[in-house]
Structure 1
Amino acid sequence: MTESATGMSRPPVHTLRSSPAYWRVTFDNPPLNLYDPEVESALAGIVDRLIDDPEVKVVVFDSAVPDFFMAHLNLGRIEEFGEGMPTWFALIDKLVRAPFITVGSIRGRARGIGNELLAALDVRFAAKETAVLGQLEIGTAIIPGCGGMQRLPRLTGRARALEIIASGEDYDADTAGLYGWVNRSVPDAELDALVERFAQRIASFDAEALAAVKEILDEQYPQPSAESLAVTNARCSPARRFRNGCAGPLRRRRR
Protein backbone atom coordinates (compact mmCIF):
# COMPACT_ATOMS: atom_id res chain seq x y z
CA MET A 1 0.00 0.00 0.00
CA THR A 2 1.47 3.34 -1.04
CA GLU A 3 1.06 6.26 1.32
CA SER A 4 2.04 9.90 0.85
CA ALA A 5 3.89 11.95 3.43
CA THR A 6 1.69 14.97 2.82
CA GLY A 7 -1.52 15.85 1.03
CA MET A 8 0.41 17.05 -2.04
CA SER A 9 -0.26 15.35 -5.38
CA ARG A 10 3.45 14.63 -5.68
CA PRO A 11 5.01 14.59 -2.22
CA PRO A 12 8.80 14.97 -2.04
CA VAL A 13 9.01 11.88 0.19
CA HIS A 14 6.57 8.99 0.09
CA THR A 15 6.27 5.54 1.61
CA LEU A 16 5.36 2.02 0.55
CA ARG A 17 4.16 -0.37 3.24
CA SER A 18 5.12 -3.73 1.75
CA SER A 19 4.03 -5.49 4.92
CA PRO A 20 3.47 -4.49 8.56
CA ALA A 21 7.17 -5.25 9.20
CA TYR A 22 8.70 -3.85 6.00
CA TRP A 23 8.45 -0.26 4.74
CA ARG A 24 10.12 1.72 1.96
CA VAL A 25 10.78 5.47 2.10
CA THR A 26 11.37 7.07 -1.31
CA PHE A 27 12.82 10.52 -2.02
CA ASP A 28 11.04 12.10 -4.97
CA ASN A 29 12.09 15.75 -5.33
CA PRO A 30 13.22 16.17 -8.96
CA PRO A 31 15.29 17.22 -10.70
CA LEU A 32 18.15 16.90 -8.18
CA ASN A 33 16.49 15.44 -5.07
CA LEU A 34 17.75 18.41 -3.05
CA TYR A 35 17.23 18.34 0.69
CA ASP A 36 14.61 21.10 0.91
CA PRO A 37 12.54 22.21 3.92
CA GLU A 38 9.59 20.33 2.40
CA VAL A 39 11.67 17.15 2.23
CA GLU A 40 12.73 17.63 5.84
CA SER A 41 9.17 18.18 7.04
CA ALA A 42 7.88 15.13 5.18
CA LEU A 43 10.77 12.94 6.32
CA ALA A 44 10.38 14.00 9.96
CA GLY A 45 6.70 13.05 9.86
CA ILE A 46 7.46 9.68 8.31
CA VAL A 47 10.16 8.89 10.86
CA ASP A 48 7.74 9.70 13.69
CA ARG A 49 5.16 7.34 12.20
CA LEU A 50 7.71 4.56 11.85
CA ILE A 51 8.94 5.02 15.41
CA ASP A 52 5.36 4.86 16.71
CA ASP A 53 4.63 1.61 14.85
CA PRO A 54 5.79 -1.40 16.92
CA GLU A 55 5.42 -3.77 13.97
CA VAL A 56 8.14 -2.16 11.83
CA LYS A 57 11.32 -4.24 11.61
CA VAL A 58 13.07 -2.95 8.48
CA VAL A 59 12.91 0.29 6.45
CA VAL A 60 14.54 0.76 3.03
CA PHE A 61 15.42 4.27 1.83
CA ASP A 62 15.67 4.81 -1.93
CA SER A 63 15.06 7.39 -4.67
CA ALA A 64 12.56 7.85 -7.48
CA VAL A 65 14.96 10.22 -9.28
CA PRO A 66 17.30 8.00 -11.34
CA ASP A 67 20.44 10.18 -11.26
CA PHE A 68 20.21 11.41 -7.67
CA PHE A 69 19.71 9.63 -4.39
CA MET A 70 20.06 13.08 -2.78
CA ALA A 71 22.27 15.73 -4.35
CA HIS A 72 22.92 17.95 -1.32
CA LEU A 73 21.35 20.48 1.04
CA ASN A 74 19.49 23.32 -0.66
CA LEU A 75 21.84 26.11 0.43
CA GLY A 76 19.63 28.73 -1.19
CA ARG A 77 17.07 28.06 1.55
CA ILE A 78 19.44 27.45 4.44
CA GLU A 79 17.76 29.99 6.72
CA GLU A 80 14.51 27.99 6.58
CA PHE A 81 16.08 25.03 8.36
CA GLY A 82 16.67 26.99 11.57
CA GLU A 83 19.86 27.67 13.49
CA GLY A 84 21.66 24.39 14.08
CA MET A 85 19.19 22.43 11.92
CA PRO A 86 17.23 21.08 14.92
CA THR A 87 14.71 19.05 12.89
CA TRP A 88 17.47 17.24 10.98
CA PHE A 89 19.37 16.22 14.10
CA ALA A 90 16.19 15.15 15.90
CA LEU A 91 14.99 12.90 13.09
CA ILE A 92 18.43 11.35 12.52
CA ASP A 93 18.77 10.69 16.26
CA LYS A 94 15.42 8.89 16.17
CA LEU A 95 16.51 6.82 13.17
CA VAL A 96 19.81 5.69 14.65
CA ARG A 97 18.13 4.76 17.94
CA ALA A 98 15.11 3.07 16.34
CA PRO A 99 14.71 -0.67 17.02
CA PHE A 100 14.20 -1.41 13.32
CA ILE A 101 16.99 -1.92 10.75
CA THR A 102 17.51 0.88 8.20
CA VAL A 103 18.82 0.16 4.69
CA GLY A 104 20.01 2.49 1.93
CA SER A 105 19.43 1.40 -1.67
CA ILE A 106 21.63 3.78 -3.66
CA ARG A 107 21.27 4.80 -7.27
CA GLY A 108 22.67 8.09 -8.51
CA ARG A 109 24.53 10.77 -6.59
CA ALA A 110 24.52 11.02 -2.80
CA ARG A 111 26.59 14.02 -1.79
CA GLY A 112 26.78 16.22 1.28
CA ILE A 113 23.70 15.72 3.44
CA GLY A 114 22.64 12.87 1.13
CA ASN A 115 25.74 10.94 2.10
CA GLU A 116 25.32 11.98 5.74
CA LEU A 117 21.84 10.47 5.72
CA LEU A 118 23.21 7.23 4.28
CA ALA A 119 26.02 7.15 6.86
CA ALA A 120 23.39 7.28 9.62
CA LEU A 121 21.62 4.18 8.26
CA ASP A 122 22.50 0.67 9.40
CA VAL A 123 23.25 -0.90 6.00
CA ARG A 124 23.96 0.44 2.49
CA PHE A 125 23.87 -1.26 -0.92
CA ALA A 126 24.91 0.60 -4.09
CA ALA A 127 24.39 0.21 -7.84
CA LYS A 128 27.78 -0.30 -9.46
CA GLU A 129 27.04 1.71 -12.60
CA THR A 130 25.29 4.75 -11.14
CA ALA A 131 25.94 5.28 -7.42
CA VAL A 132 28.27 8.20 -6.61
CA LEU A 133 29.05 9.26 -3.05
CA GLY A 134 30.92 12.25 -1.67
CA GLN A 135 31.30 15.07 0.82
CA LEU A 136 31.65 18.17 -1.33
CA GLU A 137 31.66 20.84 1.40
CA ILE A 138 35.40 21.59 1.40
CA GLY A 139 35.04 23.20 -2.05
CA THR A 140 33.06 26.05 -0.47
CA ALA A 141 35.39 26.42 2.54
CA ILE A 142 33.08 24.63 4.98
CA ILE A 143 33.03 21.14 6.49
CA PRO A 144 30.37 18.42 6.69
CA GLY A 145 28.11 19.70 9.45
CA CYS A 146 25.28 17.18 9.56
CA GLY A 147 27.09 14.11 10.89
CA GLY A 148 29.58 13.27 8.17
CA MET A 149 32.62 14.21 10.25
CA GLN A 150 31.56 11.79 12.98
CA ARG A 151 29.88 8.94 11.12
CA LEU A 152 32.05 8.52 8.04
CA PRO A 153 35.15 7.48 10.05
CA ARG A 154 33.03 4.81 11.80
CA LEU A 155 32.54 3.22 8.36
CA THR A 156 35.83 3.83 6.57
CA GLY A 157 38.40 4.53 9.28
CA ARG A 158 40.11 7.86 9.90
CA ALA A 159 42.54 7.94 6.96
CA ARG A 160 39.95 7.20 4.31
CA ALA A 161 37.43 9.56 5.89
CA LEU A 162 40.06 12.30 5.77
CA GLU A 163 40.75 11.49 2.11
CA ILE A 164 37.04 11.67 1.25
CA ILE A 165 36.28 14.86 3.17
CA ALA A 166 39.49 16.78 2.41
CA SER A 167 39.41 15.96 -1.32
CA GLY A 168 35.74 16.81 -1.86
CA GLU A 169 35.81 14.32 -4.73
CA ASP A 170 33.16 11.90 -5.95
CA TYR A 171 33.66 8.19 -5.30
CA ASP A 172 32.15 5.38 -7.31
CA ALA A 173 30.30 2.43 -5.83
CA ASP A 174 33.18 -0.03 -6.18
CA THR A 175 35.56 2.28 -4.30
CA ALA A 176 32.91 2.93 -1.66
CA GLY A 177 32.57 -0.83 -1.21
CA LEU A 178 36.32 -1.26 -0.92
CA TYR A 179 36.43 1.47 1.73
CA GLY A 180 33.58 -0.01 3.80
CA TRP A 181 31.50 3.06 3.03
CA VAL A 182 28.80 0.80 1.57
CA ASN A 183 28.25 -2.84 2.42
CA ARG A 184 28.23 -3.99 -1.17
CA SER A 185 28.43 -2.69 -4.73
CA VAL A 186 26.39 -4.76 -7.18
CA PRO A 187 25.26 -4.39 -10.82
CA ASP A 188 22.25 -2.11 -11.10
CA ALA A 189 20.15 -4.97 -12.48
CA GLU A 190 20.77 -6.94 -9.27
CA LEU A 191 20.29 -4.15 -6.71
CA ASP A 192 16.53 -4.39 -6.24
CA ALA A 193 16.59 -8.16 -5.82
CA LEU A 194 19.43 -7.96 -3.29
CA VAL A 195 17.72 -5.28 -1.21
CA GLU A 196 14.36 -7.01 -1.38
CA ARG A 197 15.75 -10.36 -0.30
CA PHE A 198 17.66 -8.76 2.57
CA ALA A 199 14.67 -6.73 3.76
CA GLN A 200 12.20 -9.60 3.48
CA ARG A 201 14.55 -11.87 5.42
CA ILE A 202 14.91 -9.33 8.22
CA ALA A 203 11.15 -8.80 8.29
CA SER A 204 10.71 -12.52 9.03
CA PHE A 205 12.83 -12.44 12.19
CA ASP A 206 11.99 -11.65 15.81
CA ALA A 207 11.67 -7.91 16.50
CA GLU A 208 13.25 -8.05 19.97
CA ALA A 209 16.26 -9.94 18.66
CA LEU A 210 16.77 -7.39 15.86
CA ALA A 211 16.53 -4.51 18.33
CA ALA A 212 19.06 -6.22 20.59
CA VAL A 213 21.50 -6.59 17.69
CA LYS A 214 21.42 -2.83 17.03
CA GLU A 215 21.61 -1.91 20.70
CA ILE A 216 24.60 -4.12 21.47
CA LEU A 217 26.51 -3.12 18.32
CA ASP A 218 25.97 0.54 19.19
CA GLU A 219 27.39 -0.12 22.63
CA GLN A 220 30.52 -1.54 20.99
CA TYR A 221 30.65 1.14 18.26
CA PRO A 222 29.01 4.19 19.87
CA GLN A 223 27.03 6.74 17.92
CA PRO A 224 28.40 10.31 17.99
CA SER A 225 27.21 12.45 20.88
CA ALA A 226 24.71 15.26 20.42
CA GLU A 227 27.32 17.66 21.76
CA SER A 228 29.91 16.63 19.17
CA LEU A 229 27.40 16.97 16.34
CA ALA A 230 26.26 20.40 17.54
CA VAL A 231 29.81 21.75 17.86
CA THR A 232 30.72 20.57 14.36
CA ASN A 233 27.56 22.02 12.86
CA ALA A 234 28.23 25.38 14.49
CA ARG A 235 31.83 25.61 13.31
CA CYS A 236 31.61 27.65 10.12
CA SER A 237 28.27 26.03 9.25
CA PRO A 238 26.58 26.68 5.87
CA ALA A 239 24.08 29.03 7.54
CA ARG A 240 26.80 31.18 9.10
CA ARG A 241 28.92 31.16 5.95
CA PHE A 242 26.16 32.33 3.65
CA ARG A 243 24.61 34.73 6.16
CA ASN A 244 27.80 36.42 7.33
CA GLY A 245 30.01 35.97 4.28
CA CYS A 246 32.31 33.37 5.82
CA ALA A 247 34.18 32.98 2.54
CA GLY A 248 37.62 32.22 3.92
CA PRO A 249 38.99 29.02 5.43
CA LEU A 250 38.04 27.80 8.85
CA ARG A 251 39.96 29.46 11.66
CA ARG A 252 42.95 27.34 12.60
CA ARG A 253 43.41 26.36 16.20
CA ARG A 254 46.67 27.32 17.86
CA ARG A 255 48.68 24.43 19.20
Structure 2
Amino acid sequence: MSVTSTVRAEQVGPAYWRVTFDNPPVNLYDPDVESDLVDVLDRLEADRDVKVVVFDSAHPDFFLAHLDLGRIGEHGPGMPTWFDIVERLQDARYITVGSVRGRARGIGNEFLTALDVRFASREHAVLGQLEIGNGIIPGCGGIERLGQLIGRARALEVVASGEDYDADTAERYGWVNRAVPDAELDAVVDRFARRIAFFDAEALRAVKEILGHEIPTPSAESLAATHERFIQLFTRDFVQERLGRAGALPPEAVLDLELNMGDRIGPRR
Protein backbone atom coordinates (compact mmCIF):
# COMPACT_ATOMS: atom_id res chain seq x y z
CA MET A 1 0.00 0.00 0.00
CA SER A 2 1.19 3.49 -0.88
CA VAL A 3 0.53 6.29 1.60
CA THR A 4 0.82 9.98 0.79
CA SER A 5 -0.14 12.93 2.95
CA THR A 6 -3.65 13.27 1.54
CA VAL A 7 -4.35 10.28 -0.72
CA ARG A 8 -3.98 6.55 -0.07
CA ALA A 9 -3.72 4.01 -2.89
CA GLU A 10 -4.21 0.35 -2.05
CA GLN A 11 -4.03 -2.59 -4.44
CA VAL A 12 -6.96 -4.79 -3.42
CA GLY A 13 -6.30 -7.44 -6.06
CA PRO A 14 -4.22 -7.95 -9.22
CA ALA A 15 -6.61 -5.81 -11.29
CA TYR A 16 -8.43 -3.83 -8.57
CA TRP A 17 -7.24 -0.69 -6.75
CA ARG A 18 -8.85 1.55 -4.15
CA VAL A 19 -7.91 5.24 -3.77
CA THR A 20 -8.92 7.04 -0.56
CA PHE A 21 -9.00 10.80 0.00
CA ASP A 22 -7.72 11.73 3.46
CA ASN A 23 -7.26 15.46 3.95
CA PRO A 24 -8.77 16.32 7.35
CA PRO A 25 -10.75 17.96 8.69
CA VAL A 26 -13.14 18.29 5.73
CA ASN A 27 -11.30 16.84 2.71
CA LEU A 28 -10.77 20.08 0.84
CA TYR A 29 -9.35 19.81 -2.67
CA ASP A 30 -6.07 21.75 -2.39
CA PRO A 31 -2.69 21.68 -4.15
CA ASP A 32 -1.47 18.89 -1.84
CA VAL A 33 -4.40 16.64 -2.77
CA GLU A 34 -3.85 17.49 -6.43
CA SER A 35 -0.15 16.61 -6.30
CA ASP A 36 -0.80 13.36 -4.45
CA LEU A 37 -3.56 12.42 -6.86
CA VAL A 38 -1.18 12.92 -9.79
CA ASP A 39 1.29 10.56 -8.10
CA VAL A 40 -1.44 7.95 -7.67
CA LEU A 41 -2.49 8.23 -11.32
CA ASP A 42 1.14 7.76 -12.33
CA ARG A 43 1.21 4.52 -10.35
CA LEU A 44 -2.05 3.31 -11.85
CA GLU A 45 -0.87 4.02 -15.37
CA ALA A 46 2.33 2.08 -14.69
CA ASP A 47 0.28 -1.00 -13.70
CA ARG A 48 -0.78 -2.55 -17.00
CA ASP A 49 -3.04 -5.06 -15.23
CA VAL A 50 -5.41 -2.64 -13.50
CA LYS A 51 -9.04 -2.85 -14.71
CA VAL A 52 -11.01 -1.02 -12.00
CA VAL A 53 -10.29 1.74 -9.48
CA VAL A 54 -12.64 2.72 -6.64
CA PHE A 55 -12.37 6.25 -5.18
CA ASP A 56 -13.66 6.80 -1.63
CA SER A 57 -12.97 8.87 1.49
CA ALA A 58 -11.54 8.24 4.94
CA HIS A 59 -13.96 10.82 6.40
CA PRO A 60 -17.63 9.77 6.64
CA ASP A 61 -18.93 13.37 6.55
CA PHE A 62 -16.91 14.47 3.50
CA PHE A 63 -16.04 12.75 0.23
CA LEU A 64 -14.42 15.90 -1.19
CA ALA A 65 -15.81 19.09 0.34
CA HIS A 66 -14.90 21.62 -2.37
CA LEU A 67 -11.96 23.60 -3.73
CA ASP A 68 -9.81 25.39 -1.14
CA LEU A 69 -10.41 28.87 -2.57
CA GLY A 70 -7.80 30.34 -0.25
CA ARG A 71 -5.12 28.44 -2.17
CA ILE A 72 -6.55 28.66 -5.67
CA GLY A 73 -3.60 30.72 -6.90
CA GLU A 74 -1.26 27.80 -6.19
CA HIS A 75 -2.93 25.72 -8.91
CA GLY A 76 -1.67 28.04 -11.66
CA PRO A 77 -3.64 29.97 -14.30
CA GLY A 78 -6.41 27.82 -15.72
CA MET A 79 -5.79 24.99 -13.22
CA PRO A 80 -3.97 22.90 -15.85
CA THR A 81 -3.19 19.99 -13.54
CA TRP A 82 -6.86 19.55 -12.59
CA PHE A 83 -7.96 19.41 -16.21
CA ASP A 84 -5.14 16.99 -16.99
CA ILE A 85 -6.30 14.75 -14.11
CA VAL A 86 -9.89 14.51 -15.35
CA GLU A 87 -8.71 13.93 -18.91
CA ARG A 88 -6.48 11.11 -17.70
CA LEU A 89 -9.41 9.56 -15.85
CA GLN A 90 -11.60 9.92 -18.93
CA ASP A 91 -8.99 8.25 -21.15
CA ALA A 92 -7.87 5.64 -18.60
CA ARG A 93 -8.00 2.02 -19.75
CA TYR A 94 -9.58 1.09 -16.40
CA ILE A 95 -13.13 1.70 -15.12
CA THR A 96 -13.40 4.38 -12.40
CA VAL A 97 -15.95 4.08 -9.59
CA GLY A 98 -17.00 6.62 -6.95
CA SER A 99 -18.12 5.31 -3.55
CA VAL A 100 -19.72 8.34 -1.93
CA ARG A 101 -20.21 8.93 1.75
CA GLY A 102 -20.53 12.47 3.02
CA ARG A 103 -20.46 15.72 1.10
CA ALA A 104 -19.28 16.06 -2.48
CA ARG A 105 -19.78 19.68 -3.41
CA GLY A 106 -18.14 21.99 -5.91
CA ILE A 107 -14.99 20.39 -7.28
CA GLY A 108 -15.77 17.31 -5.18
CA ASN A 109 -18.89 16.77 -7.24
CA GLU A 110 -17.01 17.73 -10.39
CA PHE A 111 -14.53 14.96 -9.61
CA LEU A 112 -17.38 12.48 -9.14
CA THR A 113 -19.01 13.39 -12.44
CA ALA A 114 -15.67 12.77 -14.19
CA LEU A 115 -15.74 9.13 -13.04
CA ASP A 116 -17.39 6.32 -14.99
CA VAL A 117 -19.74 4.98 -12.28
CA ARG A 118 -21.03 6.35 -8.95
CA PHE A 119 -22.64 4.64 -5.94
CA ALA A 120 -23.87 6.72 -3.00
CA SER A 121 -24.80 6.11 0.64
CA ARG A 122 -28.54 6.65 0.99
CA GLU A 123 -28.18 8.04 4.52
CA HIS A 124 -24.93 10.00 4.25
CA ALA A 125 -24.18 11.14 0.68
CA VAL A 126 -24.76 14.84 -0.06
CA LEU A 127 -24.08 16.26 -3.52
CA GLY A 128 -24.22 19.81 -4.82
CA GLN A 129 -22.68 22.73 -6.64
CA LEU A 130 -22.38 25.51 -4.07
CA GLU A 131 -20.70 28.19 -6.17
CA ILE A 132 -23.74 30.38 -6.84
CA GLY A 133 -23.91 31.23 -3.12
CA ASN A 134 -20.62 33.12 -3.45
CA GLY A 135 -21.43 34.81 -6.75
CA ILE A 136 -19.42 32.39 -8.89
CA ILE A 137 -20.12 29.33 -11.06
CA PRO A 138 -18.72 25.80 -11.30
CA GLY A 139 -15.46 26.34 -13.15
CA CYS A 140 -14.00 22.83 -13.36
CA GLY A 141 -16.47 20.94 -15.53
CA GLY A 142 -19.48 20.85 -13.22
CA ILE A 143 -21.94 22.57 -15.52
CA GLU A 144 -20.95 20.58 -18.59
CA ARG A 145 -20.76 17.13 -17.00
CA LEU A 146 -23.90 17.59 -14.92
CA GLY A 147 -25.78 18.65 -18.03
CA GLN A 148 -24.56 15.54 -19.78
CA LEU A 149 -25.59 13.26 -16.91
CA ILE A 150 -28.91 14.70 -15.80
CA GLY A 151 -30.05 16.99 -18.62
CA ARG A 152 -30.22 20.75 -19.05
CA ALA A 153 -33.20 21.54 -16.83
CA ARG A 154 -32.03 19.52 -13.85
CA ALA A 155 -28.44 20.77 -14.20
CA LEU A 156 -29.77 24.33 -14.18
CA GLU A 157 -31.80 23.51 -11.06
CA VAL A 158 -28.75 22.11 -9.24
CA VAL A 159 -26.29 24.84 -10.22
CA ALA A 160 -28.64 27.83 -9.93
CA SER A 161 -30.10 26.75 -6.56
CA GLY A 162 -26.82 25.86 -4.84
CA GLU A 163 -28.81 23.40 -2.74
CA ASP A 164 -27.71 20.06 -1.32
CA TYR A 165 -29.17 16.93 -2.90
CA ASP A 166 -29.56 13.58 -1.18
CA ALA A 167 -28.65 10.24 -2.69
CA ASP A 168 -32.20 9.20 -3.55
CA THR A 169 -32.77 12.40 -5.52
CA ALA A 170 -29.37 12.04 -7.19
CA GLU A 171 -30.27 8.48 -8.23
CA ARG A 172 -33.63 9.60 -9.60
CA TYR A 173 -31.91 12.35 -11.61
CA GLY A 174 -29.26 9.97 -13.01
CA TRP A 175 -26.52 11.82 -11.13
CA VAL A 176 -25.45 8.58 -9.42
CA ASN A 177 -26.00 5.02 -10.63
CA ARG A 178 -27.49 3.81 -7.39
CA ALA A 179 -28.36 5.01 -3.90
CA VAL A 180 -27.49 2.18 -1.50
CA PRO A 181 -28.20 1.75 2.23
CA ASP A 182 -25.05 2.89 4.01
CA ALA A 183 -24.56 -0.49 5.70
CA GLU A 184 -24.45 -2.12 2.26
CA LEU A 185 -22.42 0.47 0.33
CA ASP A 186 -18.96 -1.05 0.79
CA ALA A 187 -20.17 -4.54 -0.12
CA VAL A 188 -22.08 -3.33 -3.19
CA VAL A 189 -19.11 -1.35 -4.49
CA ASP A 190 -16.66 -4.16 -3.73
CA ARG A 191 -18.82 -6.74 -5.51
CA PHE A 192 -19.13 -4.50 -8.57
CA ALA A 193 -15.38 -3.83 -8.63
CA ARG A 194 -14.49 -7.51 -8.26
CA ARG A 195 -16.80 -8.42 -11.14
CA ILE A 196 -15.12 -5.82 -13.33
CA ALA A 197 -11.70 -7.11 -12.29
CA PHE A 198 -12.75 -10.66 -13.29
CA PHE A 199 -13.63 -9.79 -16.89
CA ASP A 200 -11.44 -9.36 -19.97
CA ALA A 201 -9.44 -6.13 -20.03
CA GLU A 202 -9.67 -5.58 -23.79
CA ALA A 203 -13.45 -5.97 -23.77
CA LEU A 204 -13.78 -3.56 -20.84
CA ARG A 205 -11.66 -0.98 -22.66
CA ALA A 206 -13.79 -1.38 -25.77
CA VAL A 207 -16.99 -0.70 -23.79
CA LYS A 208 -15.52 2.47 -22.26
CA GLU A 209 -14.06 3.70 -25.54
CA ILE A 210 -17.27 3.12 -27.53
CA LEU A 211 -19.41 4.91 -24.95
CA GLY A 212 -16.88 7.75 -24.87
CA HIS A 213 -17.11 8.04 -28.64
CA GLU A 214 -20.91 7.88 -28.80
CA ILE A 215 -21.44 10.19 -25.80
CA PRO A 216 -18.38 12.47 -25.93
CA THR A 217 -17.21 14.39 -22.90
CA PRO A 218 -17.03 18.21 -22.93
CA SER A 219 -14.29 19.63 -25.14
CA ALA A 220 -11.15 21.18 -23.70
CA GLU A 221 -12.13 24.46 -25.36
CA SER A 222 -15.55 24.62 -23.71
CA LEU A 223 -14.11 23.73 -20.30
CA ALA A 224 -11.42 26.41 -20.65
CA ALA A 225 -14.02 29.02 -21.57
CA THR A 226 -16.14 28.15 -18.53
CA HIS A 227 -13.12 28.29 -16.24
CA GLU A 228 -12.21 31.72 -17.60
CA ARG A 229 -15.75 32.88 -16.82
CA PHE A 230 -15.35 31.44 -13.31
CA ILE A 231 -12.13 33.44 -12.78
CA GLN A 232 -13.78 36.64 -14.00
CA LEU A 233 -16.56 36.20 -11.44
CA PHE A 234 -14.19 35.04 -8.69
CA THR A 235 -11.96 38.13 -8.84
CA ARG A 236 -14.81 40.62 -8.25
CA ASP A 237 -14.58 42.61 -4.99
CA PHE A 238 -18.01 41.40 -3.86
CA VAL A 239 -16.90 37.77 -4.09
CA GLN A 240 -13.58 38.37 -2.34
CA GLU A 241 -15.29 40.23 0.52
CA ARG A 242 -17.83 37.42 0.97
CA LEU A 243 -15.14 34.74 0.96
CA GLY A 244 -13.07 36.79 3.40
CA ARG A 245 -15.95 36.91 5.88
CA ALA A 246 -16.37 33.14 5.66
CA GLY A 247 -12.63 32.64 6.17
CA ALA A 248 -12.70 34.69 9.37
CA LEU A 249 -15.29 32.46 11.06
CA PRO A 250 -14.24 30.52 14.19
CA PRO A 251 -13.57 26.78 13.68
CA GLU A 252 -16.91 25.62 15.07
CA ALA A 253 -18.78 27.98 12.71
CA VAL A 254 -16.67 26.80 9.76
CA LEU A 255 -17.56 23.17 10.51
CA ASP A 256 -21.25 24.06 10.75
CA LEU A 257 -21.00 25.87 7.42
CA GLU A 258 -19.28 22.90 5.77
CA LEU A 259 -21.81 20.41 7.09
CA ASN A 260 -24.86 22.51 6.15
CA MET A 261 -23.61 24.64 3.29
CA GLY A 262 -26.54 24.05 0.95
CA ASP A 263 -28.82 25.60 3.57
CA ARG A 264 -26.44 28.28 4.89
CA ILE A 265 -25.64 29.92 1.55
CA GLY A 266 -29.29 30.54 0.73
CA PRO A 267 -31.83 33.02 2.10
CA ARG A 268 -32.77 32.66 5.73
CA ARG A 269 -36.03 30.74 6.15
Structure 1 length normalisation: TM-score? 0.91
Shift of 1:236: 3.2
Does 2:85 align with 1:91? yes
Cα distance in 2 for residues equivalent to 1:241 and 1:41:
26
Which residue of the other structure, out of 172, 176, 196, is the alignment partner of 1:178? 172
What's the C-alpha RMSD, in Å, of the aligned pairs? 1.3
State the number of aligned residues. Answer: 240
Which residue of the other structure, out of 102, 119, 123, is the alignment partner of 1:125? 119
Shift of 1:211: 0.4
SS in 2 for 1:215: helix
Distance 1:246 1:53, change over 3 A: farther
Does 2:59 align with 1:60? no
Does 2:168 align with 1:167? no
Cα deviations by residue, 1:93-135 (Å, 9 ceiling, x for unpaired): 0001111000000000000000000000000000000000000
SS in 1 for 2:123: coil
Cα distance in 2 for residues equivalent to 1:241 and 1:58:
38
Residue in 1 aligned with 2:8?
14
Shift of 1:160: 0.5
Cα deviations by residue, 1:67-113 (Å, 9 ceiling, x for unpaired): 00011000011111111001100011000111100000000000000
Query: Which sits farther off after the overlay, 137-146 or 115-124?
Result: 137-146
Residue in 2 aligned with 1:236?
230
Residue in 2 aligned with 1:245?
237
Instruction: Give me the identity figure in percent.
Output: 67
Cα distance in 2 for residues equivalent to 1:164 and 1:36:
24
Runs of 4+ in 1 over 2 A off after TM superposition: 240-248
Cα deviations by residue, 1:28-77 (Å, 9 ceiling, x for unpaired): 01110000110000001111221222111000000001100011000011
Which residue of the other structure, out of 4, 22, 41, is the alignment partner of 1:28? 22
Which residue of the other structure, out of 151, 155, 158, is the alignment partner of 2:152? 158
Does 2:201 align with 1:207? yes
Shift of 1:247: 3.6
Residue in 2 aligned with 1:222?
216
Asked if the contact 1:236/1:246 (under 8 Å) is kept, the reply is no
| Structure 2 gap ranges (5+) | 241-269
Residue in 1 aligned with 2:33?
39
Residue in 1 aligned with 2:139?
145
Cα distance in 1 for residues equivalent to 2:82 and 2:238:
23
AA paired with 2:187? A
Asked if the contact 2:136/2:234 (under 8 Å) is kept, the reply is no
SS in 1 for 2:124: coil
| Structure 1 gap ranges (5+) | 6-10, 249-255
